[in-house]
Structure formats: structure tokens, C-alpha cells
Amino acid sequence: MPSPTPILATKLYMPPLRPEVVSRPRLLERLNEGLRRHLVLISAPAGFGKTTLVSQWLALIERPAAWLSLDEGDNDPARFLTYLVAALQTIAAHVGEGVLGVLQSPQPPPTEAILTTLLNDLTSISDQFVAPGHRHPRGSTAAVGPLTRRWPHDGSARRRFAVYSL
């Protein structure tokens, strides 16, 4: 059986807000409006403040957040899912336990089957939450695509919400 993928804990830390951050009320309101959707995409060139904006917004809303910073190595589906489960476990310790075991098996099932298991686990989280993902400029989004297409968007009060910045 393969050994577990080591987790770099700093990829799960939301960047702290700096005291001199410039407030952008219009963009913060747009993110608030996005809470009625299941996914919000933030796209701007490097250095334009995407991460700062999302960090500022998360400090203002009252929802748990499972932060994940992605880099070029996270294009591998098994690695991406391992990190995603680790991020989600910061708000719900039990989520994805079965997924981690399957990912470590010699012949894991197809990614779609693993995603189904993980997404079913997400329904057990009773609170609304936010799952921001931040892609490193040289990172790829290939491993993220299947997840964003299948992210729960049932319109219920227990809505899950993802913010993904490019």
C-alpha cells in the first residue's frame, strides 16, 4: 500500500489580513451576492489582490472556511483530492476519511467515483461553509474541473459554496 501523501500545512492556512489593506466594498458586495450561487470565479493577473480580497471577505462573513492554496504539483488528482480533504477536515474532521483510504490503495477507483464519495460526505456537514481555492500562477486547473462541475448546488439552506481564484 502506498504511503500517505504528506500534507504541507501552510497550504491550508488562510493568509492573514494586513492592517493597511484597502477595502473594496463593491467587490465584497459582489462576493456576498455570490453566496446565492454554488461557485464564484475570481480572475485577475498576479498581484491584483485576489487572495487579499477573499481573505478580507472571509473575515467579514460568518461561515466556516476550508482554505486551500494550490500549486503546480496539485494537478495530480490524487494529490489534489488529498489536499482538498485536508482542507475540508479543518471545518469537519470526519469528512473524506474514506476517500483518503481509497486514494492510498494500490489501484484506486476512477476519480469520478472518489468525487462522488467526497461530495456525499459534504452533505453531512450541517453548517453552511465556504471552500476557497487559490491556484498558484503556474498551477493547472485540470484536477479541479471535475469537482467544480459536480459541486453540490441543491439550493438548500445547507448550501456549500466555493470561491476559486486564478
Instruction: Note whether 140 and 80 are within 8 A (CB).
Output: no
Do the domain assignments include residue 100? yes
The total of structural domains in the chain comes to 1
Q: Is residue 14 one of the residues assigned to a domain? A: yes
Q: Please check whether residue 1 lies inside any domain of the structure.
A: no
CATH code of the domain in which 127 resides: 3.40.50.300
Specify the pLDDT at position 77: 82
- Over the chain (166 residues), what is each successive 10-residue block's mean pLDDT? 75 89 93 82 86 90 86 82 91 89 87 84 77 63 62 52 62
Distances (CA, A) of 33 to 48, 87, 110, 134: 21, 24, 35, 20
- 101 occurs within a structural domain: yes
Residue 24 lies in a domain: yes
Q: Is residue 116 part of a domain?
A: yes
Domain membership flag for residue 2: no
Which residues constitute the domain of residue 160? 9-165
Q: Is residue 3 part of a domain?
A: no
pLDDT at 89: 92
The whole-number pLDDT of residue 13 equals 92
